[in-house]
């Protein structure tokens, strides 16, 4: 990724605006062991205490890297019950990267975030309907399948 993805101007701007990057060698100890780095590249989204919230492993082009990192950022906020910030990340993926591998999970997580922040189950059903219409074969559509029954 050093030769192709990281030098991309959009990636540079995205990383500078959204994360604090730290690059370490896969054999650098004790970090490699502490974070169970077994294959590279491994991109981890950590909170301020060093707790992992999302992991991406393997090469990604810019068109997949940025939504994957956004998904991780959204997951971090979701795990911290900051649903407003989580929704912002998920909605950016859905609007700006709808063809990415991260989009179906973002739709699913958007529905869950809206449900958890409002206790209204309708966003869960809406997430299923959106997934069914656009990403029928996605694992996230299958996971949302029970939401079809919500009235």
Within-domain flag for 143:
yes
Mean pLDDT, range 15-42, rounded to an integer: 86
51-55 contacts, C-beta under 8 A, 24 or more apart? 53/79
Within-domain flag for 1:
no
When divided into structural domains, the chain yields a total of 1
Within-domain flag for 25:
yes
Which residue segment(s) compose the domain that 131 sits in? Answer: 9-149
Percentage above 70 pLDDT, the chain: 97
CA distances from 119 to 9, 17, 66, 122 (A): 41, 32, 30, 9
CATH code for the domain in which residue 31 is found: 1.25.40.10
pTM: 0.90
- Going by pLDDT thresholds of 50, 70 and 90, the confidence category of residue 89 is very high
């Amino acid at each position: 990724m050093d030769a192709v993805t990281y030098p991309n101007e959009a990636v540079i701007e995205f990383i500078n605006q959204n994360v604090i990057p730290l690059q370490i060698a896969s054999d650098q100890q004790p970090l490699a062991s502490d974070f169970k780095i077994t294959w590279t590249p491994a991109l981890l989204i950590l909170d301020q205490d060093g707790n992992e919230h999302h992991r991406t492993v393997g090469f990604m082009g810019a068109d997949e890297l940025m939504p994957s990192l956004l998904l991780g950022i959204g997951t971090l906020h979701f795990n911290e019950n900051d649903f407003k910030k989580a929704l912002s990340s998920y909605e950016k993926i859905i609007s700006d990267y709808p063809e990415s591998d991260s989009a179906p999970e973002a739709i699913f997580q958007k529905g869950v975030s809206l449900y958890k922040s409002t206790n209204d189950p309708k966003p869960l059903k809406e997430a299923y309907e959106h997934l069914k219409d656009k990403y029928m074969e996605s694992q996230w559509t299958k996971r949302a399948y029970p939401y079809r029954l919500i009235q």
